[in-house]
A and B are shown apart, each in its own frame.
Chain A
Amino acid sequence: MRKHSSFRFRVCALLLVFYACVFLLPACRGGDPVLYMLSAAVPGSMLLLLLLPSGLFAPDRPSLAVALVLCGFSMMATVYLSVDETVSQGIRCAAGLFFLALGAILVRSFRPSVPTAGLAGLFGLGLLSLSLFISDLSFSLSDGGMALLLLAVSAFLALRLRLPALLIGLGGILLLLFQKESGSAAILAVSYAAVFWAASDSILWSGFSLAAAGGLFAVFLMLPGWFVPKEPEIPSVLSRLSSMPLLPPETVPEASGVIPPDLFFLLGEQYGIIILLCAVLLLMLLLIRGASLALHTRKSFHASLSLVAVLLLGLRAFAFLACSADLLPLSAPAFPFMTSSMPDLFAHFFLLGLLSGVSARNEADLEEDARLAMLAR
């Protein structure tokens, strides 16, 4: 019988109290029935997801808890400004759970082979190149494309086919560079080189992949007019941060018609810097959990998948913080799970699904070992 951690129930209890209070407080002020509904629905659905039996839906509960908390933060950011936006964000997060299940099923059923790896790679390249063919596309599918591309790279490396892995990765970087998405291209290049280094067991190939990715960047940087540094924000993020209080402000911010796109700093303005720090720390815990899952796998392919998820989420958070603080002259990508962009949110849930699938795989391996040990007695 599987042992359950008592901390799971404590986390659930705290989530229940926290999010009930978060939505009840503005509800008591205006009497909005939607907010009363949210104060029951949000913690209730979190409880349901975290306490579901493993046989029905086997997510990795610690990482799912982190993702749910971050999604809750993204809803909190707009609760005083626009209830409709809060509800929309909740619906987006709920829809993202479908991609979590998709990622988990993919890991359990995907066996690395040349056709499946090639198919995943082609699909990833297709998602990355979509905006080249459809010029008036308002959203970017680069996150999802990168995830599929790195999945294909991991599969090829598991099959010890380094050349196709190298070509597919470089193709993805090239597509992003053509579309002038320098931030996403940088994230893909670093993740791809790191996965190559970890999984290929060959210093020569790892060095070559890094050199090739760096070479592509150098070529495009030399093109006149390709790289345009981002325009400085007014007000700058650092000045916004300096004006943010540690605790929530003394007066409730009034609802205005315009909602800033970055939910992360909006949350800080509504609830203080401590909440922002907690969000970043929670993401770091998610990365550590992902790495721990990678270390406990039996197969190098599953370890690569976990590493892909950890790298994409972690580098995205790093790029967000670094670009917001003007450390990098690029436009900041969205913080994981705290974005109103549906494709990005779905891609983050897909990466979480990869982690859940690997965790389920690890548990299944342990149970098989226990069964074998029982048979041997």
Chain B
Amino acid sequence: MKTMRYRIRVLTLALVCGLLAVILWTGKSVWFPAPETSPIPSAESLSPVLPDPWAEPTPFPSSSPSAEETPLSAETATPSAVENQPPEALFDTFGL
């Protein structure tokens, strides 16, 4: 009976500690949630790639396509919206 009493104490203690641990963990999740980690931005997305101002301007098509009509392909897709703008708009963008 002595051994049994000791084991009953151990089991009860484990059960109560388990309940307390779950309560504390739930409380911590509710009141101190882990901040959502955002992916580290790549170097290309940080700095916009500006076109070389001394390069020859590429001719624009007659009708400028909208983003919904012509989806950008993998080769021509650029992360920056600046490249899609006409050269005159670039000066407007930079306040020149």
Please report A residues at the B interface, Cβ cutoff 8 Å.
Answer: 194, 197-199, 201, 238, 241-242, 277, 280, 283-284, 287-288, 290-291, 294-295, 300, 303, 306-307, 310-311, 314-315, 317-318, 321-322, 324-325, 327
**B5: chain A residues within 8 A (beta carbon):** 294-295, 303
For A242, give its contact among B3, B15, B16, B30 (CB under 8 Å). B30
**B15: chain A residues within 8 A (beta carbon):** 287, 310-311, 314-315, 318
- Secondary structure dominating the interface of A: helix
Which 9 residue pairs across A and B have the least CB separation, nearest first? A291-B12, A198-B7, A314-B15, A321-B22, A325-B26, A241-B30, A242-B30, A294-B8, A295-B5
Q: Decide: A291 and B26 in contact? CB cutoff 8 A.
A: no
Tell me whether A321 and B16 are in contact in the complex, defined as CB-CB below 8 angstroms, given that A197-B7, A241-B30, A303-B1 are known contacts. no
Q: How large is the interface on B (under 10, 10 to 19, 20 to 34, 35 or more residues)?
A: 20 to 34
Q: Decide: B4 and A325 in contact? CB cutoff 8 A.
A: no
> In whole Å, how far is A150's beta carbon from the nearest beta carbon of chain B?
13
Tell me whether A241 and B12 are in contact in the complex, defined as CB-CB below 8 angstroms, given that A300-B1, A303-B5 are known contacts. no
Please list 25 pairs of residues, one from A and one from B, whose beta carbons are closer than 8 Å in the complex, sorted by A's number.
A194-B11, A197-B7, A198-B7, A198-B8, A201-B3, A238-B29, A238-B30, A241-B26, A242-B33, A284-B16, A287-B12, A295-B5, A295-B8, A303-B8, A307-B11, A310-B11, A310-B12, A310-B15, A311-B11, A314-B15, A318-B15, A321-B19, A321-B26, A325-B22, A325-B26
**A197: chain B residues within 8 A (beta carbon):** 7, 11
Q: What is the CA–CA distance of A307 and B29 in the complex, to the nearest angstrom? A: 32
15 new A-B contacts, CB < 8 A, other than A242-B33, A324-B26, are A198-B11, A201-B3, A238-B26, A242-B30, A287-B15, A287-B16, A291-B11, A300-B4, A303-B4, A303-B8, A310-B11, A311-B15, A318-B15, A318-B18, A325-B29
Q: Which of B1, B9, B11, B33 has the most chain A CB within a 10 Å cutoff?
A: B11
Q: What is the CA–CA distance of A317 and B19 in the complex, to the nearest angstrom? A: 8
Tell me whether A280 and B4 are in contact in the complex, defined as CB-CB below 8 angstroms, given that A194-B11, A198-B11, A291-B9 are known contacts. no
Q: Which of B5, B15, B25 has the most chain A CB within a 10 Å cutoff?
A: B15
Q: Which of B25-73 contact A (CB under 8 A)?
A: 25-26, 29-31, 33
B23 on interface, CB distance cutoff 8 Å:
yes
Q: What is the CA–CA distance of A71 and B2 in the complex, to the nearest angstrom? A: 36
Q: Decide: A277 and B1 in contact? CB cutoff 8 A.
A: no
Tell me whether A322 and B4 are in contact in the complex, defined as CB-CB below 8 angstroms, given that A238-B29, A287-B12, A311-B15 are known contacts. no
**A314: chain B residues within 8 A (beta carbon):** 15-16, 19
**A287: chain B residues within 8 A (beta carbon):** 12, 15-16
